[in-house]
Structure 1
């Protein structure tokens, strides 16, 4: 485990969530993360995040989760934010938005792909995600917060998406989708939860470490100075 550096890529601070950035970063260090992405929803009018802080044990990055029901607006928002943030995700959940997300190589991962009818992925979308190197997110809050039949259905959808990702070699990412420090989970807890829908230990570890790191290295934001120091505007 020591050779791995773990990254939590979808944590919402105030005003999206209830915890401050400083509370989140302190807790992330306690949980054993090497880096954390503070993610803001694009439709939040109070999206300016106060990031006036310094950390010497944790790399802190900025993410945007694009929320729209229009594929054309989605692509426009990607262009708007690509050079401003470290990680771009898309809040999926409809067939047209899921498709638009996996077809855009400037998007890092598709979050919340499950639709009201199905798992949100099929062979065509999985192949597009692989071609464009768009990761598929497994947001574990559906397990930690889900109850009864809802949790069962989430596990089944996750299993379907995992099988498609394996078949087409789609990158995987695990997130907590937390809106409070009380929603956050340690890396070993995340790995244990991922096993419930069939992820192997190696797959889960990769989804928390290598996949996020490859995203960050690909984007290679100039705001990153060196380990532990970052400027985010």
Structure 2
């Protein structure tokens, strides 16, 4: 297609969008007048896709419409489409690679956190067991011997070996912050929040007797004390 025809066609398109000169078109699209001259000469194959996209946007055309208007041969249009498709394909591949890499990084971070939590759990469990064994050390060392002596001598007073159990148990509960609710045999005002009646009915404040001890940890109730009416 002659240059004059392409120039006239470009001027017609410019007039439709209110652009009066090639200099104004250059400023509006952010491209050089030399690049506009290439378009007027139908040399699309020598122009960058980015430049064509800017011109098409200002002229309110799609890229394919711009190519159809200023290509002097169908091969130019095909080359342009191939260039755009290749560019889009490259961008898609790069985006896919970035997503795969990001997913790989996230998976690695997740596995690292899971492993760290498992290690911390094992460490806490080990520390818990060691502290419990330390508190119960005297019971573990002396209780089997005391129990065997009690079996060998039925007349041995059981009260003498009670401290072997009571002291380490009290130490363990104290270390864990567990508090006993009253003591066995004590007579206390009935509190349905802390006490459980073994039989019958009692009113709050009525004196009851503790049969089985209860426990709480801070504000949390672990076990109600089991009580009976007097």
Give TM-score scaled by structure 2 length.
Answer: 0.20
Q: Which has the higher helix share?
A: 2
Higher relative contact order (CA 8 A, sep 6+): 1
Give TM-score scaled by structure 1 length.
Answer: 0.20
